[in-house]
Amino acid sequence: MPLMKSWVISANDAAHPFPLNNLPYGVFSIDGGEPRCGVAIGDMILDVTAAEAEGVIVLADEPLFDLPFWNPLMEEGPAVWAAFRNRVTALLADGAEEPNQIAPLLVAQNTAQMHMPFAVSEYTDFYAGRHHAQNVGTMFRGPENALPPNWLHIPIGYNGRASSVVVSGTDIRRPWGQLKSPDQELPAFLPSRRFDIELEMGAIVGTASDGPITVQEADDNIFGYVLLNDWSARDIQAWEYQPLGPFQAKATATSISPWIVTKAALEPFRCETPRRAFELLDHLKDCGPMLYDIDLSITMAPKNKEATVIGQTNFNQMYYSAGQQLAHHTTSGCPMNTGDLLGSGTISGPTKPERGSLLELSWGGKEPLTLDTGETRSFIEDGDTLTLSGAARGDGYTIGFGDCSGTLLPALDDPFKR
């Protein structure tokens, strides 16, 4: 599919992340006003809340965009998702009949503050990138035992904290936690010394389900995708994770990009999952191309200094797709809700520059990175800003997500002081 032309001129730049082919969904405010639903087009945002109020967009008997999140539209299901996308496309396409009516509903992105684009119902994070799992397992158990025996048969995950999912641009506070190094007899309560990121994609459940669903049904139920940074305190994790896995080490924050890129916008970029080491059981088998060709990158910028690209990979490196993760999640009868967020797991490639976490990039701190500033890093230092970026590139256009950024603030002097 080539670039779709818009009368919003900035949307026709091949390198711009928000062409008419994309139309991602976000929540924005202007000058401290009430947050509103909006669709990105070029350098502008179409105020969808205003468009609905003025009768330009009408999809249901009751308003869908009078609340500052996209869950009401998500609840309506794929037919209404398609109708909305078709209507917005028609309003913004080159040659549209109503540009003079729509132009007053556009606001400049550079004047807007972005907010959480949807209300997160629950959050599950997976461990579904083989290169990441192989790297981490090799560090701690050796290459022969790197992957747990179940890893090549099911997508492994844990239930995270929906309450600590935040939008890009939110500062992250270095957490305190219980730490124990091998040379200590007893643990101590201290600020994390090995704070890290994980480069992930987040899949958003649109259609709720109650009971097991197939991989195809699961794929159909996904509304869209965001970039996701699973901030991780590696030293807290090392002490707490046995036998039940991550807990406080992952509870500090999870950052997401401000724009939901719909599954419809990503359809031209579908690609196959990697070759399987074992044939998956029937309820997890691929039902077509299940991944997406999305280039991903990580940059690190020390306070008031230039950023360095520290990692570059692609979403096509995942071993399990979001559809397979969601289908597996439902096999026990677990209901899935509109607004559930599924983290893909860290996305790493086969070579060192393609690794998606500092734990891997510095090999547990043994091989510190040298930034373009000349400084070195094994893990994140106070004042560092970490930014995830992603883009799918088509014929004369780019599908972007908006950056997913966060700056690490120092730990509180006394976490219990009120």
The 3-class SS string of the chain reads: CECCCECCHHHHCCCCCCCCCCCCEEEEEECCCCCEEEEEECCEEEEHHHHHHCCCCCCCCCCCCCCCCCHHHHHHCHHHHHHHHHHHHHHHECCCCCHHHHHHHEEEHHHEEEECCCCCCCEEEECCCHHHHHHHHHHHHCHHHCCCCCCCCCCCEEECCHHHEEECCCCEECCEEEECCCCCCCCEEEECCCEECCEEEEEEECCCECCCCCHHHHHHHEEEEEEEEECEEHHHHHHHCCCCCCCHHHCCCEEECCCEEEHHHHHHHEECCCCCCCCCCHHHCCCCCCEECCEEEEEEECCCCCCEEEEEEEHHHCCCCHHHHHHHHHCCCCCECCCCEEECCCCCCCCHHHCCCHHHHCCCCCCCEECCCCCEECCCCCCCEEEEEEEEECECCEEECCCEEEEEECCCCCCCCC
pLDDT at 180: 93
Residues 6 or more apart from 276 whose CB is under 8 A from it? Answer: 152
Residues 6 or more apart from 98 whose CB is under 8 A from it? Answer: 56, 91
Q: Catalytic residue, from 16, 115, 131, 132: name it.
A: 132
The token pair at 3 is 């670039």
- pLDDT above 70: percentage of residues in the chain: 100
pLDDT of 15-35, one tens digit each?
Answer: 999 999 999 999 999 999 999
pLDDT of 82-111, one tens digit each?
Answer: 999 999 999 999 999 888 899 999 999 999
Burial 222-231 (b: 16+ CB within 10 A, else e): bbbbbbbbbb
CATH superfamily, domain 9-115, is Fumarylacetoacetase, N-terminal domain (2.30.30.230)
Domain boundaries, the chain: 9-115, 123-409
Average of pLDDT values for 280-301? Answer: 97
Residues 6 or more apart from 79 whose CB is under 8 A from it? Answer: none
pLDDT at 243: 87
pLDDT at 97: 84
pLDDT of 145-179, one tens digit each?
Answer: 999 999 999 999 999 999 999 999 999 999 999 99
Residues 6 or more apart from 68 whose CB is under 8 A from it? Answer: 27, 34, 35, 36, 37, 115
pLDDT at 295: 98
pLDDT of 308-352, one tens digit each?
Answer: 999 999 999 999 999 999 999 999 999 999 999 999 999 999 999
pLDDT of 105-142, one tens digit each?
Answer: 999 999 999 999 999 999 999 999 999 999 999 998 99
CATH 3.90.850.10 holds for 123-409: yes
Confidence check: pLDDT of 182 > 90: no
pLDDT at 55: 95
Average of pLDDT values for 33-46? Answer: 98
Q: Do domains 9-115 and 123-409 have the same CATH topology?
A: no
pLDDT at 138: 97
pLDDT of 202-218, one tens digit each?
Answer: 999 999 999 999 999 99
Confidence band for 389, pLDDT divided at 50, 70 and 90: very high
pLDDT at 242: 85
pLDDT at 7: 97
pLDDT at 109: 98
Confidence band for 1, pLDDT divided at 50, 70 and 90: confident
Query: Does the active-site annotation cover 328?
Result: no
Confidence band for 303, pLDDT divided at 50, 70 and 90: very high
